[in-house]
Amino acid sequence: MAPARLSGRDLVKPSTDQIWDWLDDVPDPEIPVISVVDLGIIRDVQWAGEALEVTLTPTYSGCPATSVIEISVDAALRDKGIESVTLKRQIAPPWTTDWLSDKGRAKLETYGIAPPNPAGGPDRCPRCQSTDLERISQFGSTPCKAQWRCKDCLEPFDYFKCI
Amino acid sequence: MSQPDPLLEFLLRMGDNTLVLGHRVSEWCGKGPVLEEDIALANTALDLIGQTQMWLGLAGDIEGKGRSADDLAMLRDAWEFRCTLLVEQPNGDFGQTMMRQYLFDQWHLLQLRALKDSSHDQIAAIAAKAEKEVTYHHERSADLVIRLGDGTEESRPKMQAALDLLYPYVGEFFEGDATDKTLAEAGIAPDPASLRGAFDAALSTTMDEATLTLPDSRFTHKGGKTGTRHSEHLGHLLTQMQWLQRAYPGATW
């Protein structure tokens, strides 16, 4: 049986809370363990008549994931039967790691990525919890990460840069 | 010939600096001295190209002729570019690349901090976004200039030679013209000369820590920012950067 699809005419529009829940299932393309909502780049969800407006704020100016995220958000909402989706890119105020959700921070750490920390470096090794750490590089495999190493378990790990 | 629109001219200057330096730094991709530095260089280039999309995107909107950021980047010739001569200079060795990066980052950071208070909302928004990234670039380039300057018998003379070579390109950032005057009066952008004091103070602190000596002469090469005379290096860079769009017009992926 084909899944029930909503169209503008037959059913009530899904609430924005429902939309936020759906978006919380859309993974970040580079760090799929967290969602685009956890990452804090979805800034607003609003109905404008029959069209749904979703406002996104990119993380880094040149981050290639931004376009992929836009495509994933659009596809996820269409999949839920929303036919008209408008994506708006908003750069002000600029994205900050303060917008990462607590759930997202916890998931990052479980995954092996140390969450951002205002002190400018990770609190502890995400694997063995040691605090004896050293920075290997200010940058990492994506614009949002840096490379650190634990001097106890000797494992290198990613640190989510705090900006 | 009609006078160029000062706002458009300013946006091209910002976007061409980040574009040309972003391209230069990307030339290191796959050739960095160690893997971590290779990644750092590529990430810096990526940030600069991302900022270029915002500056040149806005320039295209202001121009109103339907040109996109890509059109402006790939389909203008050398004399239409408004980048400073410093960012066109070849990479040289790793130390020379980091010296060029530090000299640029130091100016760029001051410029973006001032632009955050621009009377033009979109310019202020781009500056606020870019400042976060550039703060990070500056932290790294200053750190490396200090470590390599106050480094070994091999690294120190290389860093001093890089400073002697590149310092004569710094003054161009602080030279103002009619465009700058118009924008400063409108509260859109700072008077370039107003940033020199803070720049000199920061430079002097960094070079002291790096145990390097600033050249005495304030002589400066110029002509890039106004487009009147670029160095020969820009043309060579464009042949590589623009090759695909020139050979296969309109190619997309």
Give per-residue pLDDT as tens, A14-39.
999 999 999 999 999 989 999 999 99
Nearest to A115 by CA among A61, A160, A76, A163: A160
Q: Is A153 domain-assigned?
A: yes
> Within an 8 Å CB–CB cutoff, is residue B156 touching chain A?
no
Residues of chain B found within 8 Å of residue A62, distances taken between Cβ atoms: 46-51, 53
What is the rounded distance in angstroms from the CA atom of residue B205 to the CA atom of residue B94? 22
pLDDT at residue A138 greater than cutoff 80? yes
Query: Which residues of chain A neighbour B124 with C-beta distances below 8 Å?
Result: 92
pTM: 0.92
Of B48, B128, B139, the CB nearest to A92: B128
Does the beta-carbon distance from A61 to B47 stay under 8 Å? yes
Mutate to test the interface with B, among A57, A59, A99, A139 (most CBs of B within 10 A): A139
Among B39, B129, B139, the residue with its CB nearest the CB of A61 is B129
Q: What per-residue confidence (pLDDT) applies to B94?
A: 97
Confidence band for A5, pLDDT divided at 50, 70 and 90: low
The partner residue sitting opposite A60, judged by closest CB among B36, B125, B133, is B133
Record the tokens describing residue A18, joined without a space: 């429902």
Same domain, A32 and A56: yes
A60 and A83 fall within a common domain? yes
Position A113 in a domain: yes
Judged by a CB distance cut-off of 8 A, whether residue A147 touches chain B is: yes
Q: Total domain count for chain B?
A: 1
Q: Give how far B97 is from chain A: nearest CA, Å.
A: 17
Q: Touching check for B48 and chain A: CB below 8 Å?
A: yes
Both A90 and A22 in a single domain? yes
Report if residue B217 sits inside a domain: no
Structure-token pair, residue B79 = 């004399």
Domain termination residue (choose one: A65, A95, A125)? A95
pLDDT at residue A160, as a whole number: 94
B63 found inside a domain: yes
* Claim to verify: residue A64 and residue A125 sit in the same structural domain: no
What is the pLDDT, as a whole number, of residue A118?
Answer: 86
Contacting residues for B54 by C-beta, under 8 A, at least 6 apart? A61, A91, B15, B126, B129, B130
Residues 97-126 of A with CB under 8 A from B: none
Per-residue pLDDT tens digits for A39-96: 999 999 999 999 999 999 999 988 888 889 999 999 999 999 999 999 999 999 999 9
Instruction: Among A44, A72, A95, identify where a domain stops.
Output: A95
Instruction: Quote the pLDDT of residue A11.
Output: 62
A71-93 as b/e: b if 16+ CB within 10 A: ebbbebbeebebeebeeeeebee
The reply to whether A8 falls in a domain is no
Q: Is A134 helix (H, G, I), strand (E, B) or coil?
A: strand
Residues A79 and A47 in one domain: yes
Phi, psi for residue B24 in degrees, rounded to 5:
-55, -50
Q: Does residue A149 lie within any of the structural domains?
A: yes
Pair B29, B96: CB distance under 8 Å: no
Answer whether residue A11 is part of any domain: no
CB contact under 8 A, B53 and A163: no
Closest Cβ opposite residue B129 in set A91, A136, A147: A91
Q: How many domains does chain A have?
A: 2
CB contact burial B203-241 (16+ within 10 A = b; e otherwise) = beebbeebebeeeeeeebbbebbbbeebbebbeebbeeb
* Chain A residues whose beta carbon lies within 8 Å of the beta carbon of residue B121: 92
Residue B124's domain is classified under what CATH number? 1.20.1260.10
Cβ(A69)–Cβ(A56) under 8 Å?
Answer: yes
In three-state secondary structure terms, A136 is: strand
- Best mutation target among B21, B34, B43 (most A Cβ atoms within 10 Å) is B43
8 Å CB contact of A137 and B39: yes
Same-domain status, A23 and A90: yes
- Alpha carbon B118 to its chain centroid, in Å, reads 19
- Are A70 and A27 in the same domain? yes
Residue in the structure block whose two tokens are 């606020």: B128
Q: In terms of domains, do A132 and A77 share one? A: no
A68 and A110, same structural domain? no
Over 70: is that where the pLDDT of A157 sits? yes
pLDDT computed for residue A68 by the predictor: 92
Amino acid at B95: G
Q: Are A135 and A121 in contact (CB under 8 A)?
A: yes
Query: Which has more confidence, B94 or A4?
Result: B94
Does residue A107 share a domain with residue A88?
Answer: no
Residue A141 has pLDDT above 80, yes or no: yes
Nearest C-alpha neighbor of A82 from the set A1, A21, A8 = A8
In a domain, B253, yes or no: no
Domain span at residue A32? 16-95
CATH code where residue A20 lies: 3.30.300.130
> What pLDDT, on the 0 to 100 scale, is given for residue B1?
46
Residues of A in contact with B46 (CB under 8 A): 60, 62-64, 143
Please identify every stretch of chain B with a pLDDT value under 70, giving residue numbers as ranges: 1-3
The reply to whether residue A63 touches residue B46, judged by beta carbons under 8 angstroms, is: yes
Same domain? For A89 and A108 the reply is no
Quote the distance between the C-alpha of residue B134 and its chain's center.
11
- A77, A106: one domain: no
Residue A142, pLDDT score: 86
Q: Which domain holds residue B30?
A: 6-212+222-247
Residue B139 placed within a domain:
yes
- Would you say the C-alpha torsion B215, B86, A143, B189 has a positive or negative sign? positive
Within 8 A of B49 by CB-CB distance, chain A residues are: 62
A115 domain-assigned: yes
Distance from CA of A74 to the nearest CA of B (A): 20
Choosing from A76, A95, A114, the residue where a domain stops is A95
**Identity of the residue in B39, B46, B132 whose CB atom sits nearest the CB atom of A62:** B46
Give the mean model confidence (pLDDT) for residues A86-111. Answer: 95
